[in-house]
Amino acid sequence: MADFCADETHKLTSMLTQNYGLIGIEDLNVNGMMANHKLARSVADAAFSEARRQIEYKSEASGSRVVVADRWFASSKTCSNCGAVKENLPLSERTYLCDSCGFVCDRDLNAAKNLENYALNA
């Protein structure tokens, strides 16, 4: 991990653990994501494993709680508005459109809302 990335990861994880009492994250299959040649470089640059490690140990010191959704939790495929789950959602589809209720949302924001709900109900 480059020095810049390491510094930014420390700053981000410190900010999260100091400002939020509850943090919801996903247990991502990083090795599987690295096998996808279209994602590998971005995944490696993102340093997911290091960010999770830092969030977990810093949350202990700050008193915040970390809730980890398992890798099979369908955060991207689930509608954060009505709870309907899509069978297929290709990575190229960046906007989530619910076939059941018509809800439209950025794919990543929809997943974040689902993680938030998961953490709040854990």
Residue-wise pLDDT tens digits, 3-45: 558 889 999 999 999 999 999 999 987 777 677 777 777 767 6
Alpha carbon 74 to chain centroid distance? 11
| Rounded CA separation 48/2 (Å) | 14
Q: Where are the domains of the chain?
A: 1-70, 73-122
| Rounded CA separation 63/59 (Å) | 6
What pTM, to 2 d.p., does this model score?
0.81
The answer to whether 65 and 17 have CB atoms below 8 angstroms apart is: no
| Rounded CA separation 63/115 (Å) | 20
* Token duo for residue 50: 């290091």
For residue 26, the cross-strand partners are: 69
